[in-house]
Structure 1
Amino acid sequence: MHQEDPNIFLGSEIEQPKPEDALFHILPIPYEETVSYGGGTGKGPASIIEASHQLETFDNFSSPCDLGIYTRDAVDVSGPAEQVMENIANATREILTLGKMPVGIGGEHSVTWGIIKGYLDAGYTDFGVVQIDAHADLRDRYEGQRHSHASVMRLVCEAGVPLYQLGIRAYCEEEMDARREYNVRYMDAHQLVPNQVQSIQLPDDFPRQVFFTLDIDGMDPSVFPSTGTPVPGGLGWYQTLNLFESVAKQREIIGFDLLEFAPIEGFHAYEFGAAQLLYKLMGIVQRNRK
């Protein structure tokens, strides 16, 4: 008889496999240090894992858990930001060394730099990042901090990783300048949302391998008010999934993360929604594997 494990994703339905037997490696990163408005993202990973126990293994199209889901211990996020990023990079590199797929759960968006550094440290040199977000995150630094949720994509660009942004609707002039400097491609919310755009066509010269980073505030607050920096005019539920799938059909998804979820006490719908969103992203990856 299956014994429920509260510490693993979908632990009500599956046993924790051996790391080498699972494609998806859940990496909880409960880091919350540079948030600039509402808090709570540090509680995001545990709340999503807990809510995942209410999921069905069949996501209406397939059963992503058939490829194996291994939930790793949470990354140590104590200490200075530079050390935290190194810890995240080391954990990411370990997953990649096994030939598996990192699935990060944050935590604030600054942690994506640690994940990307892990890819670079593991020898990945030709991949791009696609970002769903309300914010461009392209500042040189924010409130004096380089490892900030508002500057994480600047670090990605400075590392030479191509970037495509979706759903942005809050940015400053410095970030518009950075888009030009680093040749960032984008379709902002005012293009996507009123026109209900469900798919994009990546440029021919965009890398064949893609890491997808999804800041939950990229979705509209009517869907997920459970985030520290909500901005009206965001993506809907199906639009988000369809945009992700349009990328998965064109490119190889080599990993993804879901960030900036801040649970609201007593509102379990949002925790369940975040868990379901993460699992549905796994399903899209499963069904589009080349």
Structure 2
Amino acid sequence: MNEPTSDYPVFLGSEIDQPAPERAYFHVLPVPYEKTVSYGGGTCLGPSAILKASWQLEKWDGKSQPCEQGIYTCEPVDCSVSPEQVVENIAAATTHIVKQGAMPVVLGGEHTVTYGVIKGLKAAGFDDFGIVQIDAHADLRDAYEGDPLSHASVMKRCVDMGIPLYQLGIRAFCEEEIAVRQQHNVYFQDADELVPQNIQAIELPADFPSRVFFTLDIDGMDPSVFPSTGTPVPGGLGWYQTLNLFESVAKQREIIGFDIMEFAPIEGFHAYDFAASLLTYKLMGITQRTQSSISQ
């Protein structure tokens, strides 16, 4: 098997050639941004590690070949500028993907990245959509350590834009965030319900938008599955539970994109790099099999 030849190789490049952008449904966007992490670091290395590990994947994900829809790997977003400009860079890249008729698959980076993605979706013309979030943390603080662009404030930025939110697996939050949930009518099923009861599917409220962007913070999954994150919290979701919850959403709504955030590789433990890469490909596969909007 060939080895990746750059820090940001083509996703699944050992199995497929990089297609022309217009011939790919999935556009993988690496965003190696890390500024406001509040415990462990390393999320800026996540996108590269996921792309490199993808060279060990098989085309067949167990049920289908998601790569048949075309997977295009974009150039990484420039994260060397101010946080405000990084957000705008992410937004511009996301808008460009959507206007090509493709689905953004965004690899972070800290969770602040999602704010830029959401701004890009809005700019591309998606006015009515909701967010479904898997996370250990609510991320609903107005600011953390004085920074409104903190990873701990990303969902507050989104609900302030009027975007409906459904949170899954949360198990670390403060009183301020409980108040924000009430103020913005945030839907949720927290980890203390999902995990002990082994809930594998949710039913979205009837008034939840018909389009959904899905954001998956790696720390939403249990540290026994993914210790490779900066802010691990015990009591999280398992591997199959995470996939099944995503699929339950995808069967009910049109997925307009998804991201994998807060993956921080652990040097010498490549199993987690591979798991994050496989998770990305599995979500592509679920999307491929459930979304009628994907042209065959």
Offset of 1:121 from its aligned partner? Answer: 1.0
Contact 2:32 2:79 in 1 (8 A): yes
- SS of match in other structure, 1:130: strand
* Residue deviations 1:225-274 (CA, integer Å, cap 9, x gap): 00000000000000000000000000010100001000000000000000
- TM (normalized to structure 1)? 0.98
Q: In 2, are the aligned partners of 1:5 and 1:12 still within 8 Å (CA)?
A: no
Query: How many angstroms apart in 2 are the aligned matches of 1:97 and 1:122?
Result: 7
Shift of 1:99: 1.0
| 1:146 aligned residue | 148
Identity %: 67
Question: What's the CA shift for 1:78?
Answer: 1.2
2:249 to 247, 250, 262: 247
Structure 2 matches for 1:165-176, cutoff 5 A?
165-176=167-178
Residues 5 and 11, structure 1, Cα contact 8 Å, conserved in 2: no
* Corresponding residue for residue 33 of structure 1: 35
Kept after mapping to 2: 8 A contact 1:27/1:73? yes
Question: Partner residue of 1:155?
Answer: 157
How many equivalent pairs are there?
A: 289
Q: What is the match of residue 43 of structure 1?
A: 45
Per-residue CA distance 1:140-162 (angstroms, 9 max, x = gap): 00011111100000000000110
What does residue 272 of structure 1 align with?
274
| Post-superposition offset of 1:289 | 1.3
Query: Would you say the 8 A contact 2:45–2:265 is kept in 1?
Result: yes
1:168 and 1:176 mapped to 2: Cα distance?
11
CA contact (8 A) 1:40 1:263 kept: yes
- Aligned partners of 1:98, 1:269: CA distance in 2, in Å? 34
Query: Aligned partners of 1:24 and 1:79: how far apart in 2?
Result: 27
Q: Check conservation: 1:4, 1:13, Cα contact below 8 A.
A: no
Q: Does 1:214 align with 2:213?
A: no
Distance (Å, rounded) in 2 between the aligned partners of 1:35 and 1:263: 14
What is the match of residue 85 of structure 1? 87
- Structure 1, unaligned runs of 5 or more: none
| CA drift at 1:5 | 5.9
Contact 2:3 2:55 in 1 (8 A): no
CA RMSD of aligned residues (A): 1.0
What is the CA–CA distance in structure 1 between the aligned matches of 2:70 and 2:290, rounded to whole Å? 16
| 1:40-189 equivalences in 2 (<5 Å) | 40-189=42-191
Does 1:238 pair with 2:240? yes
Determine which of 186, 195, 198 is the counterpart of 1:196: 198
Question: Offset at 1:163?
Answer: 0.3
1:155-175 Cα distance to aligned partner (Å, 9 max, x none): 000001100000000000000
1:102 is paired with a residue whose SS is strand
Unaligned runs of 5+ residues in structure 2 are: none
* CA distance in structure 2 between the partners assigned to 1:5 and 1:14 by the alignment: 14
CA distance in 1, matches of 2:291, 2:130: 17
In the TM superposition, residue 130 of structure 1 has moved relative to its aligned partner by: 0.2
Query: Hey, what's the Cα distance between the residues in 1 that align with 2:204 and 2:188?
Result: 10
Q: TM-score of the superposition, structure 2-length normalised?
A: 0.96
The alpha carbon displacement at 1:4 in A equals 6.7
